[in-house]
Structure 1
């Protein structure tokens, strides 16, 4: 499978936010009710998941930072003020908001209003 097998929105997202990245793998998950998800792995290790309409649902950049434009401003501000030494390396869109993973191992959950609902600092575990 190559880039052309992805929905146009997914192709555009990769081109816009990861312009130099090459795709190493595309996995198509077909579910019941004809819903299809796409898992894309880039050569640099980044994993991106897309829904059937090509909207990203998860971006995991491993040790690198998620492009700022993919992270809602209120989440970027909260992370910058509360975790100044950390970067956002993972973000997942859920029906109830966003889950964000930081470079220091912290995971943050935000509701649809952008309010921090839960955090799991790696030091607390």
Structure 2
């Protein structure tokens, strides 16, 4: 390969790395800058709990997601539109209002002495971690699919 071509390729790679470094960073934001859906979710489900910090995860094409850290230790991950993706109570009980009814009912019926400490919403499924360490998976309609303990 010609030296000039090698230099051109090396410069292109360097520019891509620099762009990724500059644009692919987390940035602290004021909670008022969160999307409306995220603010509504926080107000509805965590009313009275202060926001410790809000972070915007920026990619080269724009905001990828938001992470909100509450004063009580709970971490909530939102997509770029402000829809919740994950709520992690850090081993404490999380509110159930936003969790699909089928999931709430299954956990209450099948694991009466436990509570949900973390829930993740994927494209096609949900994963809930319980206070006893058991992970329970559901389809996108909230129907039980399997247990991972």
One fold, TM greater than 0.5?
yes
- Structure 2 counterpart SS, 1:70: coil
Query: Which portions of structure 1, spanning 4 or more consecutive aligned residues, are displaced by more than 6 angstroms?
Result: none
1:11 has 2:36 as partner = no
1:103 has 2:131 as partner = yes
Tell me whether 1-10 or 36-45 shows the greater mean CA deviation: 1-10
- Structure 2 counterpart SS, 1:45: coil
1:66 has 2:94 as partner = yes
Larger Rg: 2
1:42 has 2:70 as partner = yes
Tell me whether 106-115 or 71-80 shows the greater mean CA deviation: 106-115
Change in 2 beyond 3 A, CA 1:33/1:71:
same
- Given candidates 83, 89, 114, the residue that maps to 1:55 is 83
How far did residue 60 of structure 1 move? 0.8
- Structure 2 counterpart SS, 1:4: helix
- Given candidates 83, 100, 111, the residue that maps to 1:83 is 111
Change in 2 beyond 3 A, CA 1:36/1:87:
same
How far did residue 113 of structure 1 move? 3.3
1:93 has 2:133 as partner = no
Q: Which runs of 5+ in 1 are unaligned?
A: none
- Structure 2 counterpart SS, 1:50: strand
Q: TM-score scaled by structure 2?
A: 0.76
**CA distance in 1: counterparts of 2:126 and 2:61, whole angstroms:** 25
Q: Which runs of 5+ in 2 are unaligned?
A: 1-28
**CA distance in 1: counterparts of 2:85 and 2:67, whole angstroms:** 10
Q: TM-score scaled by structure 1?
A: 0.89
